[in-house]
Amino acid sequence: MYDGQEFLRDDRWCLSRRALLSGAGAVGAAGLLSACGAVDSPGGQAAAAPGTVLVKTGDVPVGGGTVVNGVLVVQPEAGAFAAYDTTCPHQGARVGAPRDGVITCPAHNSTFSASDGTRLAGPATRGLTEIPVRVDGTNIVRA
């Protein structure tokens, strides 16, 4: 007969601390993985509207770049500017500024050329989406 106390003493019904923490970790990991596919802006396009000043030309290092409002502005060689949506085409993580001419997605290590945004390696199947820009005086403006 069940007396209520036997149930509490039965080890079959008790979760170990390890099992409880493992389950909680799995739930957290699932949440992070589902967020990898999220894209902040519709259609994966950067939020900056045409005509928006993105950055001053002097703030974009030659051979490097800077991220502003979901747009990566690069200057692969002096006086030549290009811009890309920071959304990685693989699963929507955000790329950062290039290092040594290579843009890398921190989520799954897809790599892209800083000079033209093309895919170099990794799970992404295409390059970064180019954002049209123009130089207006000392400003880089979304075209």
- What is the share, in percent, of the chain residues with pLDDT greater than 90? 65
CA-to-CA distance for 138 and 104, rounded, in angstroms? Answer: 28
**Distance from CA of residue 49 to its chain's centroid?**
20
Three-state DSSP class for residue 30: helix
Any idea what DSSP says for residue 7? Answer: H
- Break the chain into its structural domains and give their ranges: 5-36, 42-142
The answer to whether the CB of 114 falls within 8 A of the CB of 103 is yes
Give me the pLDDT at residue 37, please.
Answer: 38
Residue carrying the six token digits 């992404």: 124
pLDDT tens digit string along 18-47? 554 555 554 444 444 434 433 344 344 446
CATH 2.102.10.10 fits 42-142, yes or no: yes
Three-state DSSP class for residue 95: coil
Residue carrying the six token digits 């200057």: 75
Give me the pLDDT at residue 48, please.
Answer: 77
pLDDT tens digit string along 66-105? 999 899 999 999 999 999 999 999 999 999 999 999 999 9
Give me the pLDDT at residue 29, please.
Answer: 43
